[in-house]
Amino acid sequence: MKFSAKTALSAALVLAAASGAFAQEFTNGTVKKVDEKAKKVTLVHEELKNLEMPAMTMVFQVADAALMEKLKAGAKVEFVAERVNGKLTVTQVK
């Protein structure tokens, strides 16, 4: 079976994209306030390395209404925050 440089490059790009998709880092935080109507949450969080932000308290959009069920005032959570359409948004919670 022969592989061309183009095939090898394509395979490398696919692997790089796949590894990037799984490299999301969860950050520890504590839920301070939940605004279900506005789909926002206030979190006291550790450093957000992917966003180059120090530890602080801030308000985030919540990407999915189903995530709101995991966010209760006082709860300790692990979450992923990303910039979505220019807004800081919680995209995953565990």
- In the chain the domains, ranked by start, together with CATH numbers, are 25-93 (2.40.50.320)
Q: What number of other Cβ atoms are within 10 A of residue 60's Cβ?
A: 22
What predicted TM-score, i.e. pTM, was given to this entire model? Answer: 0.75
Per DSSP (E only), the strands in 1-94 are: 27-35, 40-45, 56-62, 76-84, 87-93
Residues of the chain with pLDDT under 70: 1-23
Q: How many angstroms separate the first and last alpha carbons of the chain?
A: 44
